[in-house]
Amino acid sequence: MAADMPQMRFTRRSFINFAASALTLPALPGVAKAQSYPARPVRVIVSLGAGTGPDIVARLLAQWLSERLGQAFIVENRPGAGSNLATETVVRAPPDGYSLLLAIASNAINVSLYDHLNFNFVRDITPVAGIGGIPFIMLVNPSFPATTVPEFIAYAKAHPGKINMASVGNGTAPHVYGELFCEMAGIDMVHVPYRGNPLPDLVAGQVQVYFGPVPSSVGFIRAGKLRALAVTTARRLELFPDIPAVAEFLPGYEAIAWQGIGAPKGISAEIIEKLNSEVGGFLADAKIKARLADIGVVPMAPAAFRQFIAAETRKWGKVVKVANIRVD
C-alpha cells in the first residue's frame, strides 16, 4: 500500500493542476494578444504638421513606446480638413492597434462644427489614454486700454462690436476659446479669422485680442511686444505665476488644447490597457516631465480620457451652437 501512495499524490496533483489550467483557458487568447502586441511597426497619425506642439508630443511618445515595446512607433503627419483627414484615416483602419490617432481638442469641437463628416468621432474612435494639454493665454496689444480682464470686459461692454478678436480660422481652438469668453462675459467682439499666424498683426495693432497657445506666445510676452491678461487654464501656471487665470474673474472658464491617443472602434481591451499603462509610465518619467514642461504641456490622467472627451464634446458643442460658428 505504501508503495502506491506517491503515485496517488502525483495523480491528485495532476488533476488539480489540470483543473486550474482549464479555468484560465478563456482568458488566454486576450492575454496572448496583449503580450504579443506589438508584433510589427505601429503608425501614430497626427493631424498637424511636423514641428507643431502636438507633433512634438507624438514624437516623444513614439520614441518612448518604441524603446519600451521593442517595435517602431512611426509618426505620420496627415494635416488637412481641420484634423478630419487624419481622424478618418484611423477610423477606416483595422482595430488591431497598429494605427493610432493623436486625438486633439479639434476632434471634440468638430463633432458639432461639421454637419456631414464620414465618421462620428465619439462613436468611431476609442479613447486609449490622455497625454496632456497645452494652455492658452489671452493676449492684447500693449496699447490696448485694459490691463486686466475686468477692465477688458468693461471696455468691451462700453464699445460693443469694436474689438477685433483674431483666430487661426473658423471653429479653431483660438476661435471657440474666445467665443466661450464672450459668452461668459456677456460681450460682443468681431471675429477675424487668419489662414496663418495672427501674432504679427496683433503686435502691429491691426487686431486687439487673441487667445493663443502659450508656447508660441512666450517670446512676445517676455519681449514686451504683447500683454498677457490671463491664462485659460483653471489655475495659474507655474511658468507665469503672476498672470491670473480667466476663471478668477469668470468662474468655470477653462480651455486647453489637449492631446491623447485614440484607436479605431473595436480594438481589444487588452491592447488598450497595455497602451494606457505605457502612456502612464511615459508621463511619470522625470525626463519626459521636464521635456513636456519645456514645450508648455500640462500632463493629464491617462485613465480618465474617455470621460474627458465626452465632457469636452458637450462643452464645445454648446459654444459652437450659441455662437453659430460655421466653417468656410
Query: DSSP letters of 45-61?
Result: EESS-TTSHHHHHHHHH
Closest CA relative to residue 303, chosen from 290, 284, 286:
284
Q: In this model, does residue 287 exceed pLDDT 80?
A: yes
> Reduced to 3 states, what is the DSSP secondary structure of residue 100?
strand
Choice between 284 and 6, residue whose per-residue pLDDT is larger: 284
**Band of residue 14 on the pLDDT scale cut at 50, 70, 90:** very low
Element containing residue 122 per DSSP (H, E): helix 121-124
Which runs of consecutive H residues, i.e. helices, occur in 193-304? 199-204, 214-222, 269-284, 286-294
Note whether 256 and 164 are within 8 A (CB). no
The closest alpha carbon to 232, from 259, 207, 214, belongs to 214
H/E stretch holding 79 reads none
* Residue 328: band (very low, low, confident or very high) from pLDDT cuts 50, 70, 90: low
Model's pTM, two decimal places?
A: 0.83
What's the whole-number mean pLDDT along residues 292-311? 89
Helical pair 173-185 and 105-113, crossing angle rounded to 10 deg: 70
Residue 65 burial by Cβ neighbours in a 10 Å radius (0-12, 13-18, 19+): buried
CA-CA distance, 200 to 205, in Å (whole number)?
9
Report which of residues 98 and 15 the model is more confident about: 98
C-beta of residue 296 within 8 angstroms of C-beta of residue 214 = yes
Q: Hey, what's the cell of 106? A: 479639434
Instruction: Output the pLDDT for position 253.
Output: 98
Q: Which helix (H) or strand (E) holds 133?
A: strand 125-140
CB neighbour list of residue 49: distance below 8 Å, 6 or more residues apart: 55, 77, 79
- pLDDT confidence of 296, banded at 50, 70, 90? confident
Cβ pair 263, 97 in contact under 8 A:
yes
Q: Three-state secondary structure along 135-203?
A: EEEEEECCCCCCCCHHHHHHHHHHCCCCCEEEECCCCCHHHHHHHHHHHHHCCCCEEEECCCCCHHHHH
pLDDT-wise least confident of 5-19, 26-40, 94-108, 264-278: 5-19
Asked whether the beta carbons of 199 and 220 are under 8 A apart, the reply is: yes
Mean pLDDT of the chain: 89
Q: Look up cell 501614430; give the residue.
A: 44
- Give the whole-angstrom CA distance, residue 137 versus residue 134: 10
Can you list the domains of the chain with their CATH numbers?
Answer: 37-134+256-322 (3.40.190.150), 135-248 (3.40.190.10)
